[in-house]
């Protein structure tokens, strides 16, 4: 399995960054992509209790139709036989098959965004091995992804912001906080196309100041970085049994990253 690498659409394919014994770059072999898929399987299905289908269980890898056309960011631990300890998948609209949508389009109609932007990059399947979540690996992935987007002149980045567990009431404070502060304008708002969706405005809650504070603290670290870049979210959350999560669609107009803001990094 090899990711497509269209040189006309990809600047600096050999780019890498280093922090101590960790190196981040794009996967450049089937073995490295498979190692990223194995990490995804470990985190999404073994750790987070998602529901894997039979082929994934047999392979012990999380695989789908977008892997072949994606660029896979990987972080390698050079002190552990170059093990892949972090990954993030990048899917460009320029590399999709003619009738293929983004993974996000399984749950949302993105027509409004597609009409405005010509160069779109979907970020998905972010995960880090359990022993490496202190910050260095996340920082490397973040810096690499931001440079990739800027170097390749993507106008929009999008994906799904997920919260662990299927009980939407457990996440209502953070969802309402994001709804009130980061809601996408109607002219660009993703539209849900699945039944397992909940309009955030219908969630029964009126958070007090302490709840708002707790909601802000509950924003996942990577999502915090997107919000600093002006991210917008859908008005609907999806209950995803496969991954045992609740998620919203999120997007960032990459023009905001052409300023010094792109140096901002998420903090724990």
Q: Which of 137, 122, 200 is nearest to 163 (CA)?
A: 200
Complete domains list, the chain, with CATH? 7-254 (3.40.630.30)
User: What is the per-residue pLDDT for 134?
Assistant: 82
Tokens of 184: 């996408």
Q: Would you state the pLDDT for residue 256?
A: 66
Half-sphere exposure of residue 246: CA atoms within 13 angstroms, side-chain side? 19
Looking at residue 219, its pLDDT comes to 83
Give the pLDDT band (50/70/90) at residue 92: very high
Q: Residue 76: which of 86, 89, 67 has the closest Cα?
A: 86
Helices (H), strands (E): how many in the chain? 7, 11
Q: Which of 112-116, 162-166, 213-217 has the lowest mean pLDDT?
A: 213-217
What distance in Å separates the CA atoms of residue 245 and residue 215, rounded to the nearest whole number? 17
Mean pLDDT value across residues 142-166: 94
Name which of 101, 108, 112 is nearest 192 in CA terms.
Answer: 108
Q: Residue 8 pLDDT > 50, yes or no?
A: no
Helix (H) or strand (E) segment spanning residue 108:
strand 108-109
Q: Which two tokens stand for residue 141?
A: 């992935």
What is the SS3 assignment for 22? strand
**Cα–Cα nearest to 71, from 56, 97, 92:** 92
**Residue 198 near residue 149 (C-beta atoms within 8 A):** no
Confidence (pLDDT) at 43: 97
Confidence of residue 214 (pLDDT cuts 50, 70, 90): confident
Looking at residue 72, its pLDDT comes to 98
């Amino acid at each position: 399995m090899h990711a497509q690498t269209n040189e006309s659409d990809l600047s600096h394919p050999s780019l890498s960054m280093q922090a101590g014994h960790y190196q981040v770059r794009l996967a450049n072999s089937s073995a490295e992509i498979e190692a990223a898929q194995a990490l995804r399987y470990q985190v999404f299905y073994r750790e987070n209790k998602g529901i894997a289908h039979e082929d994934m269980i047999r392979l012990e890898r999380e695989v789908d139709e977008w892997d072949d056309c994606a660029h896979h960011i990987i972080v390698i631990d050079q002190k552990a036989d170059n093990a892949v300890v972090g990954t993030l998948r990048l899917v460009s609209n320029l590399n999709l098959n003619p009738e293929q949508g983004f993974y996000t389009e399984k749950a949302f109609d993105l027509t409004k965004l597609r009409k405005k932007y010509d160069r779109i990059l979907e970020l998905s399947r972010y995960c880090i091995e359990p022993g490496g979540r202190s910050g260095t690996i996340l920082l490397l992935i973040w810096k690499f992804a931001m440079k990739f987007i800027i170097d390749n002149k993507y106008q929009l980045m999008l994906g799904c912001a997920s919260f662990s567990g299927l009980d939407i009431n457990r996440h209502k404070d953070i969802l309402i906080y994001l709804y009130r502060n980061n809601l996408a304008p109607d002219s660009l708002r993703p539209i849900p196309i699945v039944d397992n969706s909940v309009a955030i405005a219908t969630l029964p809650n009126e958070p007090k100041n302490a709840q708002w504070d707790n909601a802000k603290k509950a924003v996942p670290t990577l999502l915090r970085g997107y919000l600093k870049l002006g991210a917008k979210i859908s008005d609907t959350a999806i209950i995803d049994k496969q991954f045992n999560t609740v998620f919203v669609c999120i997007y960032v107009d990459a023009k905001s990253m052409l300023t010094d803001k792109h140096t901002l990094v998420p903090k724990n």
